[in-house]
Structure formats: structure tokens, C-alpha cells
Amino acid sequence: MDYEQRYFGLFLGAKATTTLGNLTLSGLLRSGFTVDASAVDHHWLREEGRGLRFEDDFFTVPFISAGAKIDYQMTDRASVFLAGNVDKYFRNKG
């Protein structure tokens, strides 16, 4: 079995960054919609060796995304960071 989803999107957002010594904090918020979103679910060993294939087209799906990042500058050329992102795609049937 293999499964693939494609969510190409256009979005508009805002990002804010502040630096406190060696520590940099940033956050972002964006919203937009997917363009030609799709999914393919292929079950190779079903239906007597022919396989069974499901294809879904979602067209445009609105979404919102929020993220944050903490970056610590260890030297002039090296840093470590911790980042997270949350995406919410609003329900749409294929």
C-alpha cells in the first residue's frame, strides 16, 4: 500500500522576531487556501493482483497556521533551535 497527499497552498501571514542577547524568539501566523489539493491511496495486493486505487481531489481548502521558534546563538557560526508549527485545514470532502 502507498498513500500520498498533496497540499499546495497560497497564504498571507505575519511574522514577529525579537532578540534578547543570544536568544531569538519568533512567531508567525498565516492563513490561506490550498490549490488543487489531492490524495492517492493505492492498495497493491487487493482485487486479485490488480490493486485497488482511490483518488480524491479536494480543490481549494482554507487553512490557518501558527508557529513559534526559539533560537540560541552558541557562537558566531552555530546556533541551536526548537520550533513548532500547528496547521488547521478546514474540513472538506474529496
3-state secondary structure string across 70-83: EEEECCCCCEEEEE
Domain boundaries, the chain: 2-89
- The Cα 72–Cα 65 span in angstroms is 24
- Residue 71: burial class (beta carbons within 10 Å; 0-12, 13-18, 19+): middle
- How confident is the model over 43-53, as pLDDT tens digits? 877 666 677 88
- The Cα 39–Cα 61 span in angstroms is 13
pTM, entire model: 0.67
- How confident is the model over 10-46, as pLDDT tens digits? 999 999 999 999 999 999 999 999 888 888 888 877 6
Q: Give the cell for residue 38.
A: 489531492
